[in-house]
Structures are given as C-alpha cells and as structure tokens.
Structure 1
Amino acid sequence: MSKEDAIVLKNIGMKFNLSKEKVDSLKDYVIQSLRHQIQYNEFWALKDINLTIKKGERVGILGLNGAGKSTLLKVIAGVFKPTEGTLEKHGKIAPLLELGAGFEKQYTGKENIYLYGAMLGYTKQFIDEKYDEIVEFSELGEFIDVPVKNYSSGMKSRLGFSIATIVSPKILILDEVLSVGDAKFRKKSEKKVMSMFDSGVTVLFVSHSLDQVKRICNKAMILDHGKLIAFGEIDDIASVYEKMIEEREKEVPKKKIKKSTAKKE
C-alpha cells in the first residue's frame, strides 16, 4: 500500500448464509443446529472486489438495488468482516451509514450528543466546545431537550449528521445520508460535505441520484450482483450507468410479455 493510497481492496468477498427453514424460536434453532437439521443457501453479496482508492478521491458507488453497495461500505467501515480477501485503510474513517442508529431512545438529544460523540471517539471537552455548533446545524432548537424516542426519523438523521461531521475525517463514508430531512437541510448537508474537500478528505458515496453523485464525486464505480464491473472518471462511468439503466428498463416489458403469453398457453 503506497502513501498515496487511502483504501486498497484485494479479492474481497462477503458471503451470507441464508437459512432454508423457518425457525420460530431460539430453542428450535439450537435444537435443529445440534441435530444438523438446518440447511443454508450461500449468498455472495460481494465477490472478487479489487480496487485501489487514492487519497482525496471522491468515489460514487452506483448500482441497482441489491448490487452490494451498502455491503461494500459496511466492509470498508469495519461493520462487516469480509469472508475472503484483504482490506487496507489509511486514516480515520467517519462512516455515515445509518445516522442515529446508535442513539439511546430514552435519552434526550443533548444526552445523545455526548453518547454518540463518545462512540465516534470524541472527548467530552471537544463535545463541550462544539455543542452549540452541533445543535445549530441540526436545527432541532428546543427539541434538543426532548427524548429521542419522540423524534421523527428525519430529526434523528439530522442530529446524527451534525455530530458525525463536526470534524473532517481522512475518509468519509456516505450511504444515502444526503437525502435526509427537507430540501433546505439536504442542500445544507451537501454543502457541508463539499466544504470538507479542501482538507483532502477521501469520500465514498452511495446515492440513487446520479446528478448528486456527479456533483460530489470525481470518480465512480458500478456494482452489479456483487461484482465490480466498471471504475473510472465520473463522466465516463455515468454514461455507462445510464446505458445500463436503459437496457434494464427495456428488459422489463419483455419479461412481462413472456409471462402473459405463458399464462394464455
């Protein structure tokens, strides 16, 4: 791994075992497991991923639903340990995957700022200094003293985003998080992320909005059924992805026609 590299993936594969049987309780699961009665289907969410991302590159991850985009981000963030292959990272990672997932519902927004901040490695002194800035950016106002269990999903995401982006990490991982909140907050969140680019942050970004990916990223990749099929400059990859979408959309009517014909026969 050279000094210019931020992330290097070699032959990364991620396998999940999907149970064929329906198990209604933990007791049944243990009994059937001991009797070797549970069978699994292997599902490879990622397979043979080889990729090097340089420091300062902003990479959009494109693909249809089920392509493996979120799984790849979770492997890089350390949420999942890959089944096979090796992963090297250089620099502190700020994973914005499921914003607010670590919040304690019974605690207030203020209490969760300190709890969530501690989970991200921030000291109490640092959070004390940044507290007002976090609250102001989240736009929660007096709701900051209300238990999180009374928050909407948008409010939780706004608070999570405000805490996670209070410092500029070396590697920023974004999974659909710029689509949270109303239009005004989405625009503000995007501006916040783009302000980090001056510090040379490396970005991995998943979004269903190709226009948003093109605004934020200078590189892109395409995943299809867990495999990396293209990687390069954003404009080149965007063109490939648009053609891929067009071809898939043409295939759908053909499949419907075949099914209706088969029913008539």
Structure 2
Amino acid sequence: MVEVDGVSMLFNRSKEQVDNLKEYLVRVFQRKLFFEEFWALRDISFNIKRGESIGIVGLNGSGKSTLLKIIARVMKPTNGEVRVFGSVAPLIELGAGFDMDLSARENIFLNGAVLGLNRSEMRRRFDSIMDFSELWDFVDVPIKNFSSGMIARLGFAIATSSRPDILIVDEILGVGDFKFQKKCEDRISEIIGTGATVIFVSHSIEQVLDLCQRAVWIKNGRIVMMGSAKEVCGAYNNS
C-alpha cells in the first residue's frame, strides 16, 4: 500500500536572528542572509503491505513527523519517492483545518466539504461524530473557546468517521482523559480490523506494541532498525 524509496528531506535553517519581515527581505535581496543545511531525513526506504500496522519510533527531532507528512503528501521530499495506493486519512495536526470563529457543528460540515463529502453525507455522520467526541454540550459554541484537547477530540472524531485505506496517526492519542484515550485506541483497532493500513507515531511504546505489528526506529533522520514491533521497541527502550 505504501512504498518509501530512498526518501531524503533537506531544510535550510537561517543562521541569523531576523526580527521582522522587512529586514528579512532586505537581507535576502542583498544576499546577506545565510543558511545552513539540515537533513531531516536521509535515504529512508521501506514498504508497508495492505492491512499492516507499522509504528515509527524515535526521539523528538528524529524525523518521524516529517516522514509522515511526506507520506501524506503534505510535503515533497528533496530526494526519493513515495508511492501510495489508496485513500489516506492523515491524523497529523488535528483541528488544523478548523475555522476558529465557527461552531463545532459548522466545522464538521466545513471539514466534510474539505474531505469531498456532501452535506447529506455529513448529516448522516453528524450524530456519531458528536457522540464519539463527547462534545454535545458545546455543539454550537465557537471552537475558539475550546481547549486544545477538545479541538483534538473533535478533529479525531471527524477524521475517523470514514474508513480510509491508509490511516496516518501522529502523536494524537494523548488527548483527553484515560477513558477517551482508550476510545481512540479502540477506534484505531476497529479501523485496522477493516483491513486498513495504519502508520502510527507515538512516544508511548505500550501503544505501539498494542497497535502495531512492525516498527521502524529512526534516529537523526536515518533508519536504525526495522522489524517486529516487539524487537524494535525492545532495542529502542534499551538504547
């Protein structure tokens, strides 16, 4: 379902502190703004089969989220290629597409339109989305008044209301209390049960072991180890 072939990602980081946009543009035109190269990913290659769940582990800054964004086609790699076969639901930045001045009800239909779903389809899904998010008391409240956890819960409920071929999950199971986290895990397990392919990033090794068959350990943008989730997570924990 997913083929990652020799993927590398280069970012240019400014070596100087620039306080405002005007100064930044002046330095660019005068060629006085200097950058240093930062390779977030280096020669990453692996394949994911249909119905397989794979975890990606590593410390902060190792390149995990960058890799997910490339697979989700949010970013284009500097080198290499990613081939994806099927529909993708990326749970990377929950709530990123929300209009903060609109209510939860209005944002559900807005996100449905972004996903290519018409209003009748979203009306059909509406009650189940609100039931899962447990936000009925705030259904007509502008989400600018929501906590970050409430926004993430609504985003998760909308994103998982369909059954995609490929589900990409990036560090989103920490929202809400323990009971709600368990609901999220159960929803992902349910999606896996339908035969979907899941790519999962989490700092919780327990969640990776519970949800994933295989794992990839990334350090400083390079693959350190690939294999069964038990073997890779064990090596990562002992590193």
Q: Which one has the bigger helix percentage? A: 1
User: Could you say what secondary structure the match of 2:188 adopts?
Assistant: helix
Mapping for residues 113-132 of structure 1, pairs under 5 Å: 113-132=108-127
The one-letter amino acid paired with 1:104 is D
TM-score, normalisation: structure 2: 0.97
Counterpart for residue 178 of structure 1: 173
Residue 98 of structure 2 is aligned to residue 103 of structure 1: yes
Say if 1:117 and 1:164, in contact at 8 Å, map to a contact too. no
Counterpart for residue 231 of structure 1: 226
CA distance in 2, matches of 1:163, 1:75: 22
Residue 192 of structure 2 is aligned to residue 210 of structure 1: no
Percent of matched pairs sharing the same residue: 47
Counterpart for residue 53 of structure 1: 48
TM-score, normalisation: structure 1: 0.88
The one-letter amino acid paired with 1:17 is N
User: Could you say what secondary structure the match of 1:163 adopts?
Assistant: helix
Counterpart for residue 139 of structure 2: 144
After superposition, give the CA deviation of every residue in 1:23-74 in whole Å (9 maximum; x if it has no partner): 2222222211111111101001101101111111100101011111111111
User: Could you say what secondary structure the match of 1:179 adopts?
Assistant: coil
Q: CA RMSD in A?
A: 0.9
Give 1:198 deviation, angstroms.
2.0
Counterpart for residue 62 of structure 1: 57
Deviates more, 1:235-244 or 1:43-52: 235-244
Gaps of 5+ in 2: none
Give 1:142 deviation, angstroms.
2.2
Mapping for residues 150-165 of structure 1, pairs under 5 Å: 150-165=145-160
Give 1:178 deviation, angstroms.
1.3
Gaps of 5+ in 1: 1-5, 245-265
Give 1:154 deviation, angstroms.
0.8
Counterpart for residue 83 of structure 1: 78
CA distance in 2, matches of 1:117, 1:216: 27
Give 1:172 deviation, angstroms.
0.3
Say if 1:15 and 1:44, in contact at 8 Å, map to a contact too. yes
Say if 1:120 and 1:164, in contact at 8 Å, map to a contact too. no
Residue 158 of structure 2 is aligned to residue 166 of structure 1: no
User: Could you say what secondary structure the match of 1:145 adopts?
Assistant: coil
Counterpart for residue 134 of structure 1: 129
Counterpart for residue 241 of structure 1: 236
CA distance in 2, matches of 1:123, 1:228: 41
After superposition, give the CA deviation of every residue in 1:72-121 in whole Å (9 maximum; x if it has no partner): 11111111111111110000000001111111111001000011222222
Give 1:122 deviation, angstroms.
2.0
Counterpart for residue 21 of structure 1: 16
Give 1:179 deviation, angstroms.
1.4
Larger Rg: 1
CA distance in 2, matches of 1:137, 1:243: 37
Counterpart for residue 107 of structure 2: 112
